[in-house]
């Protein structure tokens, strides 16, 4: 059976033309995609038209979604981190958010576009942490 026809897979086409397979239950963490699938459950191929939905960003988002799918207890960890200032994060999550700030900006834009609230929350919290510790010069460079 071809990947595009597998009933448990959804193919997401990035703005740069790359097809990325997602397990249907994983991609449903995106409220936007979940709503699309509720309307047309036979959708197995979804092109994303946002300019930030590039291969690199979508792979990072897929990694996060797969991690949460395989580690559902981390949802509480992220909620405690973002809402209650609990400093604990797993090593995987620390490594995930330890990327260039401009990549974090792209991830949060796509997470917003796809309506993945838990990802938006952790990335916004990390951006806020970086801004709160930045000098005016560093802050200026973050937004250029």
Domain ranges, ordered by start, for the chain: 3-142
Predicted local distance difference test score (pLDDT) of residue 7 = 65
Predicted local distance difference test score (pLDDT) of residue 87 = 86
Low-confidence ranges of the chain (pLDDT < 70): 1-7, 41-42
Predicted local distance difference test score (pLDDT) of residue 62 = 98
Given 1.20.1250.20, 3.30.420.40, 3.30.710.10, 3.40.640.10, which CATH number is that of 3-142?
3.30.710.10
Pick the closest to residue 49 from 36, 66, 38 (CA basis).
Answer: 36
Predicted local distance difference test score (pLDDT) of residue 28 = 93
Predicted local distance difference test score (pLDDT) of residue 4 = 44
CB-neighbour burial class of residue 3 (10 A; exposed 0-12, middle 13-18, buried 19+): exposed
Predicted local distance difference test score (pLDDT) of residue 134 = 81
């Amino acid at each position: 059976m071809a990947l595009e026809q597998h009933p448990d897979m959804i193919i997401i086409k990035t703005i740069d033309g790359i097809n990325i397979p997602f397990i249907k239950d994983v991609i449903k963490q995106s409220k936007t995609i979940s709503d699309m699938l509720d309307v047309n459950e036979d959708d197995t191929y979804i092109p994303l038209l946002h300019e930030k939905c590039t291969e690199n960003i979508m792979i990072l988002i897929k990694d996060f979604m797969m991690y949460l799918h395989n580690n559902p207890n981390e949802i509480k960890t992220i909620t405690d981190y973002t809402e209650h200032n609990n400093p604990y994060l797993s090593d995987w999550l620390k490594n995930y958010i330890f990327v260039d700030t401009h990549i974090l900006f792209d991830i949060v834009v796509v997470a917003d576009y796809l309506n993945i609230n838990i990802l938006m929350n952790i990335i916004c919290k990390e951006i806020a942490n970086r801004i709160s510790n930045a000098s005016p010069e560093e802050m200026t460079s973050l937004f250029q």
